[in-house]
Structure formats: structure tokens, C-alpha cells
Amino acid sequence: MPVYDRPRIAASGGYVVHVEICNEVSLECNKLVHALYYTILQRVREGRVVGVEEVVPAYASLTIFYDPRHIDRNALVKLVEECWNESRSVDVSRILRPRLFRIPVVYGGEYGPDLNSVAEHAGLDPEEVIRIHTSRRYVCYMLGFTPGFIYLGDVDDRIAAPRLPSPRTRVPAGSVGIAGKQTGVYGVDSPGGWRLIGRTPLRMFDPKRDPPTPIKPGDLVEFYRISEEEFRELKGVFIGDVRG
């Protein structure tokens, strides 16, 4: 696994530093990110460090927002390096305590306009793509790029597919897509270039809820197929109210 000997730390504009841990997208790399993330948070919660305002984990890196009135960049670099050494012995499975979310999906047709192109790319029947997509349990790696969007992996190699050559200007909220070995769900209407294979009727993001998106990094997700009639019956139900 291409993990760096030491985290690569760089200023990222304003009072922000970007910490890169490895140069690949993988579950093992993501576990290291979360081990470092929780190690830093633990020091903040214990009051051992002041000035760290927010730590945001991603696939292979994390971003730290800080207050320069309480901590400077050199002290922050030292903090990251100390926490990195400490985090290598952290058992992430005991920290994350993943929850399981089951997400209903209508596949194909107007709900999944790229299902046939994914099937063609894979050399499979669309029904086989659906079977493969619903046959495994995915890990939530991170949240972004819009509110409620969940990045999940890893997709079976047989149905991995490239992004669209040109992104759509509007992707409906709830759309389920594939991009490379990732699958994900759009939390709100937005532009997007993932290949859409289906759509869930559930609301993945609700700003009036706390949290507005209940799925968090480390949680597990399963997809299951439903009919259009079931889609209409479940339309608008918040994902946090139906976790199984």
C-alpha cells in the first residue's frame, strides 16, 4: 500500500492545512485517515491542543482549519506528526463502530439513464449489473462534494465504469451513480458526471435535521431494488428514519 512515511503537509489557503497520507483510494488508506482524524480530535477534546477549529477527513487525506491566534502552522505540523506516530497503533474498528443503512433503489429507465451504458462497458446484461451492485456492502469513505453526497466503495471490478465525458447540468437528488470503483448517492439536486444507474426515494439530506445527513464516514450501506410503486410510497422519507 503506497502510504507515505510521513504525512505530507501543505498550506491550503487562509488558515488551513492539507494533510495527505497516501496516494491511492483504498479502504486501508481511508482507515489510516480516520485513525489520524480521531487521534487529533482526542487531543482537542482533552484540551491538550487549542486552536484547531475543524478537522475534515477525505479519502486519502484530511484538512485542518485552525485559529492563528492560538496555534501557528509550525505547532500544527508538529501536532500532526505526533498524532501520526500515535495513530499507527489505533484500532479504527473500535473507534468507528459502523452502523448499517439499507437504501432502496429503482434501477434503470428515467431513474437510472446510464444503466445500459454501464452494462455495455462491462459486457453484461443490465440485470446482472443490478444484481452485482446490490450484492455487496459498501463503506462510506467520505461526505461531499455537495450536501448529503455519500462516497461509497468499493464497487465490484466487473461494473466499475468511467465518469461521463461531460457532466450533466442537473442530477436529481437521490440519484445513485458509479464513477470508477466508487458508487454514491446525490443528496441534493446538483450538476454531476457520475453514471446514474438508479435513484432512491429517500431524502439523503435535510438541513432541518441534526445531523442533516445521518450516514457518516465508516458507516456501511447496502442497496436493494424496489419497484416504481414502492418508490412513490417512500418518496420523501428521511434516510435517518428508515435505517435497518
Per residue in 27-67, pLDDT (tens digit) is 888 889 989 999 999 999 999 999 999 998 888 999 999 99
Report how far residue 162's alpha carbon sits from residue 146's, in angstroms, rounded to the nearest whole number: 20
**What confidence tier does 13 reach under pLDDT thresholds 50, 70, 90?**
confident
210: exposed, middle or buried (C-beta count within 10 Å: 0-12, 13-18, 19+)? exposed
Please report the sign of the dihedral spanned by the C-alpha atoms of residue 107, residue 187, residue 103, residue 63: positive
pLDDT in tens, 183-228: 999 999 999 999 999 999 999 999 999 999 999 888 999 999 999 9
Fold that domain 3-96 belongs to in CATH:
Gyrase A; domain 2 (3.30.1360)
DSSP H helical ranges for 88-125: 92-96, 115-122
The tens digit of pLDDT for each residue in 21-37 reads: 988 878 888 889 989 99
CATH 2.40.100.10 in the chain is located at 100-241
What is the widest separation between alpha-carbon atoms in the chain? 59
pLDDT at 131: 98
Where are the CATH 3.30.1360.40 domain residues in the chain? Answer: 3-96
C-alpha closest to that of 202 among 131, 114, 101, 133: 101
Residue 69 has pLDDT above 70, yes or no: yes
Q: In terms of CATH, what superfamily is 100-241?
A: Cyclophilin-like (2.40.100.10)
Is 96 a residue whose pLDDT tops 80? Answer: no
